[in-house]
Amino acid sequence: MSSQSNRPKVVFERISKSFLKREETLQVLDDINLEVADGEFVCLLGPSGCGKSTLLNIVGGFEKADSGRVTIDGEEVTGPSSRRIFVFQEYGIFPWASVWDNVALGLRDRPESERRRLVQDTIDMVGLSGFERSYPMELSGGMKQRVEVARALAVSPDVIYMDEPFGALDSLTRLTMRSEIIRIWEQEKKTILFVTHDVDESIQLADRVVVLSSRPGRIADIVEVGMQHPRDLGSPEYGRIKNRLYELLGVNHSV
Average pLDDT over residues 93-99: 91
Helix residue ranges, H only, 20-59: 52-59
Q: 2: pLDDT confidence band, cut at 50, 70 and 90?
A: very low
Q: 59: pLDDT confidence band, cut at 50, 70 and 90?
A: very high
Q: Which of 4, 32, 51 is nearest to 158 (CA)?
A: 4
In this model, does residue 115 exceed pLDDT 70? yes
In this model, does residue 1 exceed pLDDT 50? no
- Per-domain boundaries in the chain: 1-83+192-255
Query: Could you report the per-residue pLDDT of 138-187, keeping only the tens digit for each?
Result: 999 889 988 988 888 888 899 999 999 888 788 888 888 899 999 999 98
The domain defined by 1-83+192-255 folds into Rossmann fold (3.40.50)
Mean pLDDT of the chain: 90
| Per-residue pLDDT at 253 | 61
| Per-residue pLDDT at 69 | 96
Q: Which of 216, 223, 241, 227 is nearest to 42 (CA)?
A: 223
φ and ψ of 2, to 5 deg: -80, 165
Q: 92: pLDDT confidence band, cut at 50, 70 and 90?
A: confident
Pick the residue with more confidence: 152 or 207? 207
- For residue 199, the surrounding DSSP H or E stretch is helix 199-205
Per the CB < 8 A criterion, the answer to whether 18 and 58 are in contact is no
Per-residue DSSP letters for 139-153?
A: S-HHHHHHHHHHHHH
Query: Could you report the per-residue pLDDT of 223-235, keeping only the tens digit for each?
Result: 999 999 999 999 9
| Per-residue pLDDT at 89 | 67
